């Protein structure tokens, strides 16, 4: 991340340039509180001499900037987490519904194949879905 410094030259060099008032965004005062007389806007390139009072205030401003950035990203992460959780719940519901359909189809197929005959000791095979794997036929060891 490039720091968005902006320098303002209020008097010709060798007078030092000031930093833009990043904290309050005042157009008539520098970061250090210096009131401009006839500011010449310098832009982002650092002039040779920069006001010491402005530069001493930069760490506090940067700290605020980073805290603000961290807050924004924390909220963004939370929003992404919530969206992912909703998607996971949706997929879990779809999976449960698909599982029920498969079970019903298997029961129907089993009933048709055996036409209501009762076969002692034989049970309808069930689909078992192993977490993270493909559906199997539920054979247990």
Pick 30 or 39: Cβ nearer Zn ion: 30
Pick 15 or 78: Cβ nearer Zn ion: 15
Give Cα separations from 11 to 34, 36, 54, 102, 136 (angstroms): 12, 9, 15, 81, 81
CB 10 within 8 A of CB 42: no
Cα-atom radius of gyration of the chain, to the nearest Å? Answer: 35
- The residue among 7, 6, 5, 11 whose CA lies nearest residue 39 is 11
Task: Tell me: does residue 8 bind Zn ion (CB under 5 A).
Answer: no
CB 47 within 8 A of CB 41: no
Task: Tell me: does residue 30 bind Zn ion (CB under 5 A).
Answer: yes
Task: Tell me: does residue 21 bind Zn ion (CB under 5 A).
Answer: no
Task: Tell me: does residue 9 bind Zn ion (CB under 5 A).
Answer: no
Task: Tell me: does residue 18 bind Zn ion (CB under 5 A).
Answer: yes
The angle subtended at Cα 56 by Cα 28 and Cα 5, nearest 5°, is: 55
Task: Tell me: does residue 32 bind Zn ion (CB under 5 A).
Answer: yes
Q: Which range binds Zn ion by CB under 5 A, 53-61, 86-94, 118-126, 130-138?
A: 53-61
Q: Which range binds Zn ion by CB under 5 A, 14-22, 63-71, 74-82, 83-91?
A: 14-22
Query: What is the footprint of Zn ion within residues 33-52 (CB under 5 A)?
Result: 34, 51
Task: Tell me: does residue 17 bind Zn ion (CB under 5 A).
Answer: no
Beta bridge partners of 8: 18, 41
Pick 61 or 99: Cβ nearer Zn ion: 61
CA–CA dist 76, 137 (Å, integer)? 42
Residues in touch with Zn ion (CB under 5 A): 18, 30, 32, 34, 51, 53-54
């Amino acid at each position: 991340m490039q720091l968005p410094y902006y320098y303002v030259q209020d008097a010709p060099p060798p007078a030092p340039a000031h930093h833009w008032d990043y904290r309050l965004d005042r157009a008539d005062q520098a970061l250090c509180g210096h009131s401009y007389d006839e500011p010449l806007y310098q832009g982002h390139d650092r002039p040779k001499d920069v006001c010491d009072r402005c530069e001493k205030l930069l760490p506090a401003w940067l700290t605020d900037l980073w805290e603000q950035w961290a807050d924004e990203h924390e909220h963004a992460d939370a929003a992404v987490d919530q969206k992912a959780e909703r998607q996971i719940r949706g997929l879990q519901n779809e999976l449960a519904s698909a599982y029920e359909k498969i079970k019903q189809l298997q029961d129907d197929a089993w009933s048709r194949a055996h036409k209501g005959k009762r076969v002692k000791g034989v049970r309808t095979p069930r689909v078992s879905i192993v977490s993270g794997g493909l559906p199997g036929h539920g054979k247990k060891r």
